[in-house]
Amino acid sequence: MNKLCRQVSIESPGPTIKDCVFSFEVPMPDVPPHGARIRVACAGACYRLHRTPSLSSVSSVSSISSDKSFDLPLFTSPAHPGVRDTALYPGFEVAGIVESLGSEAHAENPLKVGDRVVIFPYEGVPHGYAEFITVTDLKYLVKIPAHMPLSVAAMLPTGALLAMNTVIHAREYTDQLFKEKGENARAKILVVGTGGLALWALRIASYEFQDIENRVCISVATLRDEGFQLAKENLR
């Protein structure tokens, strides 16, 4: 019999269901050949929508594992007015420990069992409110320093890592521009807003473009006067 692990879902209330938060057991996810299985330590409160045909946690079990059959009854009662017939599997920002590596994971890959990691927020990232989750490729795992608490690391994926991804793509465009236009070409990076994601982008951009700072101008657009002060503090 396959091992089981715990998982949490948050669901729309129905006329016959009072509870909205369900904790249940699901099969332990298999380790993808090129990926890894992660033992979750901390998961943020970002929500990933996962539609189900029912309002019950029973239907959620069926929906999370399409390749397995569950001979269980489904509730079909309508949702309350204004509430969608859905289940939310929370935890888009995940920090944890590498529990197993795939059989075809490259030996030269720096990650190993026991490493502390966060999961890059790629399309299709699994919900993190579970004991174990898997990623299909090791490139989606980012090793974190030993001194960083996992609770702090779990706050990074949808802020710092998304901003880093944007800045890396911006660097690719500017490098291509300079290659095509020559030494006299100049570029401007515009960051709109001064919220958390924008400030991460500012700080990472100031680091990423420091070697060509004389050719790149980083600008900020914001409706708040205090936003410009925040921008200056993050560009220091």
The beta strands (E) that lie in 103-140 are given as: 116-119, 132-135
Give 186-232 pLDDT, tens digit per residue: 999 999 988 888 898 998 999 899 888 889 999 999 888 888 888 88
What is the DSSP-derived secondary structure letter of residue 113?
A: T
Among 115, 138, 153, the domain-final residue is 153
- Domain total for the chain? 2
Let me know whether 26 and 141 are in one domain. Answer: yes
Give 87-133 pLDDT, tens digit per residue: 455 677 899 999 999 988 877 678 999 999 999 877 777 778 889 99
Among 153, 168, 197, the domain-final residue is 153
DSSP 78-123: PPPTT--SEEEEE-SSEEEEEEEE-TT--TT-S--TT-EEEE---T
Let me know whether 111 and 194 are in one domain. Answer: no
Per-residue confidence band for 13, with pLDDT thresholds at 50, 70 and 90: low
Give 33-66 pLDDT, tens digit per residue: 999 999 999 888 765 444 433 333 333 333 333 3
Higher per-residue confidence, 95 vs 3: 95
State the pLDDT at residue 75. Answer: 32
CATH number at 110 reads: 3.90.180
Let me know whether 198 and 107 are in one domain. Answer: no
- Tokens 């409110």 locate to 129
State the pLDDT at residue 175. Answer: 92
CA distance 222 to 220: 7
State the pLDDT at residue 28. Answer: 87
Q: What is the mean pLDDT of residues 25-38?
A: 90
State the pLDDT at residue 85. Answer: 42
State the pLDDT at residue 59. Answer: 33
Let me know whether 55 and 81 are in one domain. Answer: yes
State the pLDDT at residue 46. Answer: 63
Let me know whether 81 and 185 are in one domain. Answer: no
List, in sequence order, every residue forming a beta bridge with 7; answer none if it has no partner.
Answer: 24, 130
State the pLDDT at residue 228. Answer: 87
Among 121, 153, 185, the domain-final residue is 153
Q: What is the largest CA-CA distance in the chain?
A: 69
To the question of pTM greater than 0.85 for the whole model, the response is: no
Let me know whether 12 and 77 are in one domain. Answer: yes
Q: Domain range spanning residue 48?
A: 4-153
Q: Which residues of 43-68 are buried (b: 16+ CB within 10 A; e: fewer)?
A: bbeeebeeebebbbbbbbbbbbeeee
Let me know whether 122 and 34 are in one domain. Answer: yes
State the pLDDT at residue 21. Answer: 72
